[in-house]
Structure 1
Amino acid sequence: MSNPTFRDAVEADVPELLKLVESAYRGEASRGGWTTEADYLDGQRTDEQGVRDVVEAANSTLVVVEQDGVIVACCQLERRGDSAYFGMFAVRPELQGAGLGKVVLAEAERRVVADWGVREMQMTVIQVRAELIAWYERRGYRRTGQMSPFPYGDERFGIPRRDDLQFELLVKAL
């Protein structure tokens, strides 16, 4: 495959991006990669309106990653003062583990510094995702111990299979 290219998402990308995010996190397809949340959550990760909201939001972009004209990954970047928030990160399950995620994360960090002049990237990760948190730690992210609640009862974000889910804030100085 060729080197990935990066661009900002447009409205027409929303259906394909929704499929990508769902395939990376939910259901049997997600088990083809290592980022699945299928052991913790059933239902959907997001919905079409949720993706559209990120595409259309002020101070935010959804970065589309393509190889050979095919969408293979995406990530949300949102400006929050002197920091940027990194979210909605998805890589096609069959491409996970081959280094594409590292490339996408590095490009996201480069972009927020170059475009917004921010000094810190923030993200939230479900605290039971030890392997994923360790992956981010190897890339310089630090656990803060600062937790926020999982949106129990809001099926737009999934149907929890356990009652102890919460998000931990991870940060990295850029």
Structure 2
Amino acid sequence: MDKTSIRVQQGDITKAAVEAVVNAANSSLLGGGGVDGAIHRAGGPAILEECKQIRARQGGCPTGEAVITTGGKLPAAYVIHTVGPVWQGGSKGEPELLASCYRNSLRLAAERGLTSIAFPNISTGVYGYPKDKAAKIAVEAVKRYLQAHETSIAQVVFVCFDDENYRLCRSLLAIDA
């Protein structure tokens, strides 16, 4: 992890200057609202076409898993689609499933030899995951993965859309304002 920088920024993940952006997708991989819709709109039809091919091969993407497609028209060359858990109170395996989203996304990036990746705040929108709990899991999962694996990833960016997630991530990473 010593060679990997972890940053937090507030803004639009579709504009992130990284090799891969992570999409908080739904299991159908056919686009949706929030981050998912924004990535599909900004990236254009090439992303949806590859998602359809993945669906034809494996029938979608289970919660906690991840798949990779082109970035289409995005600045990022790739989109890593991961399906976060819907919050059901925390006793239905949500923490482990959410951590798996981050680990599996990092694994796919590393398998491709990518050096930079940007994450949104997975499951904190319509899936209802409490932002404080989700941010803690995100930061811990990324740090643990990077400590446990030799990887090509030199930069991880948490791209927060809203003020609350931005403050939470900065606090967890002990970044001064």
**Which TM-score band applies after superposition, normalised by the shorter structure?**
0.3 to 0.5
TM, length-normalised to structure 2: 0.39
Structure ranking higher in helix proportion? 2
Using CA pairs under 8 Å that are at least 6 residues apart, name the structure with larger relative contact order, 1 or 2: 2
